[in-house]
A and B are shown apart, each in its own frame.
Chain A
Amino acid sequence: GAVVSQHPSWVICKSGTSVKIECRSLDFQATTMFWYRQFPKQSLMLMATSNEGSKATYEQGVEKDKFLINHASLTLSTLTVTSAHPEDSSFYICSARDFGGSLNEQFFGPGTRLTVL
């Protein structure tokens, strides 16, 4: 149980295009999902917290107009990187908190590797 999927697993795009990454909780409902970014050889940094049916909360320094987050259902959150540039190339990981589970538990997706040319 408690499986989180991400799609796509990797994507290569041209500079200036937008890329959408999906995060799905497969066997549980997630009122809260989190988006992290990890640059090579660095740690995971929380970008934003996504709550179903409401606006996402962004961490300091993260541009909300560049990283659009939509949490339209209890099993799906999407992250859209708008007008992507090479510096946005990174590993994006989502996690989900089980609606009926413990508040201290997050389940992580496998990550999406974004390369912007």
Chain B
Amino acid sequence: AQKVTQAQTEISVVEKEDVTLDCVYETRDTTYYLFWYKQPPSGELVFLIRRNSFDEQNEISGRYSWNFQKSTSSFNFTITASQVVDSAVYFCALLSSNTGKLIFGQGTTLQVKP
């Protein structure tokens, strides 16, 4: 079975704090892809990152960074020096190379207060 778990339902931080959003996944596939999306109040999904199962290198993009650890089946997302504009729902997702289907986690609502 394939599953994505985002244990944090809601997180609230004050601007400029660092925050980490957790994502744990389950799959029996050897080839798979992991994603993070941002969903602002408008509803439109914003693609943040895609990682394939063979690439465990951590990635940094501006204030965003991702930590992929196959040993713990985790793909965590850290926002450094958070800003009010980062307030949104963030989804972690798993794509099976066998089925081509995206499976989303439950989402984490991040509120950044000024």
Q: A residues within 8 Å of B by Cβ? A: 32, 34, 42-46, 49, 91, 93, 95, 97, 103-106, 108, 110-111, 113
Contact = CB atoms under 8 A, between A and B. Distances in A.
Interface in B46-79: 47, 50, 52
23 contacts: A32-B100, A34-B101, A34-B102, A42-B107, A43-B104, A44-B45, A44-B91, A44-B104, A45-B104, A46-B101, A46-B103, A93-B45, A103-B100, A104-B33, A106-B95, A108-B37, A108-B44, A108-B45, A108-B47, A110-B44, A111-B43, A111-B45, A113-B43
Q: Helix, strand, loop or mixed for chain A's interface?
A: strand
Contacts, number: 45
Interface residues of B, number: 20
